[in-house]
Chains A and B, each alone.
Chain A
Amino acid sequence: MLDKNGIAKRIAKEIKDGYYVNLGIGIPTLVANYIPDGINIELQSENGLLGMGPFPFEGEEDADLINAGKQTITTLPGSSIFDSAMSFGMIRAQKIDLTILGAMEVSENGDIANWKIPGKMVKGMGGAMDLVASAKNIIVAMQHINKAGESKLLPKCTLPLTGVRCIKKIVTELAVLDVLPEGGFKLLERAPGVSVDFIKKATAGRLIVEGDVPEMVID
């Protein structure tokens, strides 16, 4: 079973040289720490920055330079800054190659819910609805099972949707799965030490297992 950093490490292997990538809040943010050597990418922060750098050194924080999680950050050589409309313009026009975000639920036809729990949590969708509606390549980083012990990979989402038929790949602490265009979660890889049976029990939606499922390779 993977921890959060393990999930981030596995997702980092999906990133290709030359990608512009938008990372959501939570586990997705950790992915930036594991970009393989020799892979050059630019991170987009939807508040208006391409080429997001690491956190500043202590004493060098700049209140005017934050990411979409409102954390102090830095720029890098080649960075550019723009307004919010242009930021979502480049998202809508599919100039961003990959979006990685968290989810509360994903359905077997690729629907995602991650912004609202009626009566309990009302923080808002932020940029998530824009990202999932437009991105050509979306990876969901999340726990397979929620805190109540229920599967988050469902036949149908129960929470208000963020987007429909948009998720193609999911990486959890247990597995890497593709969401097939015709529906269903196809099991691609198992986390180290996790059995196919265990993943079956943790997946409420339709799980498709073909042949031997390899273990993830994470260095």
Chain B
Amino acid sequence: MINKVISGADEAIKDINDGATLMVGGFGLCGIPENCIAALVKKGTKELTCISNNAGVDDFGIGLMLQTRQVKKMIASYVGENAEFERQLLSGELEVELIPQGTLATRCLAAGYGMPAIFTPAGVGTEVAEGKEIRNFNGKDYLMEYAFEADFALVKAWKGDTAGNLIFRSTSRNFNPVMAMAGKVTIAEVEELVEAGELDPDQIHTPGVYVHRIFEGKNYEKRIEQRTVRTK
């Protein structure tokens, strides 16, 4: 059995250097790698390119790295709910590439499946298509979009084992499994780390082969962005 366990977030990110391209899992603040983000803020790594569906909020998630100006470029599908992000974008301090959410997910998938590109109809006829190759299949136009290349993928899972196998919980799964497959080096932080053999192989979402480093995270805040309830 191959052991992927490391001591914690600081060790996990110690070789993430200035200028690296990172994938960061999560949807909104749901399922984000809180420990790795905190460690990167502490380390002060700069000039980062972040591929993530969203950019967090002003004081949480990737928003924390925006406050400290550690992000040079953001590749995302939706960046609302973040005033600092909008300010840096409109002032030109931050480079931003907005891409369709399905394109984002599938470019990760392609990387993890060893496919150089995908064809998607999303964005045909819009500014997203500018400069991209269009192919017609069965009478419909599709854009060619390349698989992502990311130096590191930072993902968050519910449970993981020492061999790097991951299980996600509920909708905090989102982008995490596809980003886990896509990183040249994938770092998984989990709420509960168990010995290999304790997870049912049939229930594994991400096989350990895709995960290079794993550790049990601490002090998860798991902040809720929109608390909506009904009364009994």
Q: Do A and B bind each other?
A: yes
A48–B178 Cα distance when bound, in Å, is 12
Knowing A47-B174, A129-B126 are in contact, say whether A122-B79 is a contact too (CB < 8 A). yes
Residue of A nearest to B169 (CB): A64
- Are B176's CB and A124's CB within 8 A? no
Knowing A83-B175, A130-B100 are in contact, say whether A58-B77 is a contact too (CB < 8 A). no
- Are A66's CB and B178's CB within 8 A? no
CB of B224 closer than 8 Å to a CB of A: yes
Q: Measured between C-beta atoms, what is the minimum distance from B29 to chain A in Å? A: 7
CB within 8 Å of B: which of A40-75? Answer: 45-49, 54-73, 75
- Are B224's CB and A63's CB within 8 A? yes
CB within 8 Å of A: which of B68-112? Answer: 76-81, 86, 89-90, 96, 98-106, 108-109
Q: Measured between C-beta atoms, what is the minimum distance from B115 to chain A in Å? A: 12
CB of B31 closer than 8 Å to a CB of A: yes
Knowing A64-B170, A160-B127 are in contact, say whether A72-B79 is a contact too (CB < 8 A). no
Residue of B nearest to A56 (CB): B229
- Are B171's CB and A81's CB within 8 A? yes
Complex interface: chain A residues within 8 A of B103 (CB): 129-130
CB of A127 closer than 8 Å to a CB of B: yes
A216–B111 Cα distance when bound, in Å, is 50
The answer, among A48, A72, A124, A126, for a CB contact under 8 Å with B228, is: A72
Proximity bits, A141-166, B CB within 8 Å = 1, else 0: 00000000000000000001111110
Knowing A62-B170, A70-B30, A81-B173 are in contact, say whether A88-B102 is a contact too (CB < 8 A). yes
Contacting chain A: which of B37-45, B117-125, B208-216? Answer: B117-125
A134–B90 Cα distance when bound, in Å, is 31
Proximity bits, A103-127, B CB within 8 Å = 1, else 0: 0000000010000000100111111
- Are B120's CB and A133's CB within 8 A? yes
Complex interface: chain A residues within 8 A of B229 (CB): 55-61, 72
Complex interface: chain B residues within 8 A of A92 (CB): 102, 120-122
Complex interface: chain B residues within 8 A of A45 (CB): 171
Q: Measured between C-beta atoms, what is the minimum distance from B86 to chain A in Å? A: 7
CB of A140 closer than 8 Å to a CB of B: no
CB of A32 closer than 8 Å to a CB of B: no
CB of B219 closer than 8 Å to a CB of A: no
- Are B30's CB and A63's CB within 8 A? yes
- Are B171's CB and A88's CB within 8 A? no
Proximity bits, B212-232, A CB within 8 Å = 1, else 0: 000000000011111111111
A75–B173 Cα distance when bound, in Å, is 15
- Are A133's CB and B123's CB within 8 A? yes
CB of B177 closer than 8 Å to a CB of A: yes
- Are A70's CB and B178's CB within 8 A? no
The answer, among A64, A160, A165, for a CB contact under 8 Å with B126, is: A160
Knowing A124-B80, A130-B122 are in contact, say whether A63-B223 is a contact too (CB < 8 A). yes
Task: Give the most central of A45, A56, A63, A92: most B CB within 10 Å.
Answer: A63
A92–B108 Cα distance when bound, in Å, is 16
CB of B67 closer than 8 Å to a CB of A: no
Would you list 23 pairs from A and B whose C-beta atoms are within 8 A, ordered by A residue? A46-B102, A59-B229, A62-B170, A66-B171, A67-B171, A70-B27, A70-B28, A70-B225, A73-B228, A81-B173, A83-B168, A83-B173, A84-B102, A84-B105, A85-B109, A91-B102, A92-B120, A122-B98, A124-B78, A125-B77, A127-B101, A129-B102, A161-B127
